Amino acid sequence: MLTRVHDTLYALQVPIPYPMRFVTVLIDTARPVTLVDAALDTPEAREAIEDALRELGLHWERVERVIVTHHHPDHYGLAGLVEERSGATVHMLDLDIARGERYWHMWEKWLPGHQKHLTDHGLPQDLLAELEAESRRSRARVHPASRLHPLKEHDRVRLAGHDFEVLWLPGHADGHLGLWQPELSLLIAGDAVLPRISPNVGLYAYSRPDPLGDYLGTLARIETLAPARTVVGHYGPVIDNAATRARELIAHHEERLDFCREELRREPRHAYDLSNAMFRRELSPSGRRFALAETLAHVEYLRARGELTREWSGGAWMYGTI
Ligand SMILES: [Zn+2]
């Protein structure tokens, strides 16, 4: 399932055991041979990438560079394996390197702060054990790189004979990067904009304080760029209406903000309680954690703009209107 994006740049749909089913991995066969994103470390993903490389007359050892759009497991999973097999350099936006290293290399230290953050916002203690087990499973499917090379916003990256500008597109991850080629009007967006689903924007223990504010800025930027074609992390690999999709996602978050205002006007509640009202369907423990983090991003957005207060009461933060 290789799609030619431009010249020597190909997009591959790699299977992942998540509801999205596939993640996009880009392969540029021009020197330096580059992967953009590295899927998850599962036998199925390894095989899919190996087959694609073979089809393009390449193999792991020929890969010279891996650029990771953000540190989440389904985009970073095989980066360390490629580095080991070929000596490829692995690149991430400077801001996401700290996130990635804390998460993938200091996981045991990272965990208590992460759990406290969730329970401080009302997550029931009895969900913690299941969440920890799920976290351990996803940790096991990531082969972290031994060294990460920082990219900075406005750096240039050569792909398929063109200079791409590194963009900082925060929201879904603090240090999420995009690659923009103005002459081709081509954006490599990772999960910064997705068709069909709204990328998770969550406030976590160690994230920037206002991820939804960051994300609305990112969507406005994508709307202004109005790329002719956009490579997306899931449900792609290429879409042609990213500006329209960005507008839809802005409207979706505005609706959710209104929902928070209305619910909290009725009575103060903690974010977990509110997340159960916002996401009514049955969810797995990790789904409930995503829902809580997403709800928190919305209430903290409103609190930062003076619309809500929060108060420590009964062992959790209670949000209310002013
Ligand atoms: Zn993803």
Model confidence at 283, pLDDT cuts 50, 70, 90, reads: confident
Assign residue 39 the CATH number of its domain: 3.60.15.10
Query: Domain span at residue 60?
Result: 2-112+138-249
Model confidence at 282, pLDDT cuts 50, 70, 90, reads: confident
User: Which pLDDT score is estimated for 233?
Assistant: 98
Q: Could you tell me the distance, in angstroms and rounded to a whole number, from the CA of residue 73 to the centre of ligand 1?
A: 8
User: Which pLDDT score is estimated for 22?
Assistant: 97
pLDDT over 90 at 91, yes or no:
yes
Q: In what order do the strands lie in the sheet with 269-270?
A: 269-270, 316-321, 308-313
Cβ-defined contacts of 50-56 (< 8 Å, 24+): 52/2, 52/10, 52/12, 52/25, 52/27, 53/27, 55/2, 56/2, 56/10, 56/27, 56/29
Q: Could you tell me the distance, in angstroms and rounded to a whole number, from the CA of residue 318 to the centre of ligand 1?
A: 31
Number of domains in the chain: 1
Each residue of 244-269: pLDDT tens digit? 999 999 999 999 999 999 999 999 99
Q: Could you tell me the distance, in angstroms and rounded to a whole number, from the CA of residue 102 to the centre of ligand 1?
A: 19
Q: Could you tell me the distance, in angstroms and rounded to a whole number, from the CA of residue 166 to the centre of ligand 1?
A: 19
Q: Could you tell me the distance, in angstroms and rounded to a whole number, from the CA of residue 49 to the centre of ligand 1?
A: 17
Q: Could you tell me the distance, in angstroms and rounded to a whole number, from the CA of residue 232 to the centre of ligand 1?
A: 9
Q: Could you tell me the distance, in angstroms and rounded to a whole number, from the CA of residue 199 to the centre of ligand 1?
A: 8
* Residue 289 is assigned to a structural domain of this protein: no
Q: Could you tell me the distance, in angstroms and rounded to a whole number, from the CA of residue 20 to the centre of ligand 1?
A: 8
Q: Could you tell me the distance, in angstroms and rounded to a whole number, from the CA of residue 266 to the centre of ligand 1?
A: 35
46: left (phi over 0), alpha (psi -120 to 50) or beta: alpha
* Residue 319 is assigned to a structural domain of this protein: no
* Residue 124 is assigned to a structural domain of this protein: no
Q: How far apart are CA 178 and CA 170, in angstroms?
A: 10
Q: Could you tell me the distance, in angstroms and rounded to a whole number, from the CA of residue 54 to the centre of ligand 1?
A: 25
Say what the pTM is. Answer: 0.95
Q: Could you tell me the distance, in angstroms and rounded to a whole number, from the CA of residue 221 to the centre of ligand 1?
A: 20
Q: How far apart are CA 34 and CA 83, in angstroms?
A: 12
- Is the four-CA dihedral 55, 57, 63, 64 of positive or negative sign? negative
Model confidence at 133, pLDDT cuts 50, 70, 90, reads: confident
* Residue 35 is assigned to a structural domain of this protein: yes
* Residue 281 is assigned to a structural domain of this protein: no
Question: Element (H or E) spanning 248, and its range?
Answer: helix 242-266
The 10 Å Cβ neighbour count of residue 183 is 7
